[in-house]
Amino acid sequence: MTLDPPWQPPAWELDPSQPLYEQIAHRIRVEIAASRLPGGTRLPSVRDLAASLRVTPNTVMRAYAELEQDGLLETFRGQGTFVARSSGVEARAQARIARQALEHVRRVAADLGMRVEDLLRLGAEAGGGEDDDAGSHRV
C-alpha cells in the first residue's frame, strides 16, 4: 500500500541566491515548528518534490538528510520519509528556530553595546513600519 497520500507542500518560490537545499530544509522545519506537519506525516518522495520544485532529486535528498540529522524526520527505505514520531518534534523545531533568532539579536545588540529591547525598539522607530511597538520592556 502507498499508505497515506503524502503531504502537499504549498507553492514555494526558491531564491536562487541562497542554497536551495537550505531553503527547502528551512521551509519544512518551519512547517513542523508551526504544527502544520504533525509527527508521522508522510513527505513527498524525493523525486516528486524535486520535480515540483524544478530541482534535482539530489538537492531534495540533501535537505531531507539535514532534517533527519536534526531528528525532525525519519526515513524508511522503500516506504518514504516521515515527520519523526518522537514526542515533541514541533517543540524541538520551535526551540531551535527560536534559540537561533534570540542568539542573533543578542549578538547584534552586543555588537552595538545595547540591550536587546533597545535594539528592537530602535529598529521599530527606524522605518520598521508594521505594528509591534518593540519595547520599553525587558527582553
Partner DNA sequence: TAAGTGTATTAAATCACATGATACACTCAG
Partner DNA sequence: CTGAGTGTATCATGTGATTTAATACACTTA
When the beta carbons of 19 and 128 are compared against DNA, the nearer one is 19
> Of 42, 105, 96, whose CA–CA distance to 73 is shortest?
42
The one-letter code for the residue type at 39 is: G
Q: Is residue 14 a contact point for a second copy (CB under 8 A)?
A: no
Q: Contact, 37 vs 83, CB < 8 A?
A: yes
Binding residues for DNA restricted to 6-45, rule: CB under 7 A: 6, 18-22, 43, 45
Q: Which stretch binds a second copy (CB under 8 A): 14-22, 41-49, 78-86, 104-112?
A: 104-112
Smaller CB separation from DNA, 12 or 95:
12
Q: Are 83 and 75 in contact (CB under 8 A)?
A: no
C-alpha gyration radius of the chain: 18
CA 108, CA 120: separation in Å to the nearest integer?
10
Q: Which of 30, 48, 114, 118 binds DNA (CB under 7 A)?
A: 48
Nearest to 92 by CA among 114, 67, 117, 75: 67
Please tell me whether residue 33 binds a second copy under the rule CB under 8 A.
yes
Contact residues: DNA, CB under 7 A: 1-2, 6, 18-22, 43, 45-48, 54-59, 61-62, 64-65, 68, 75-81
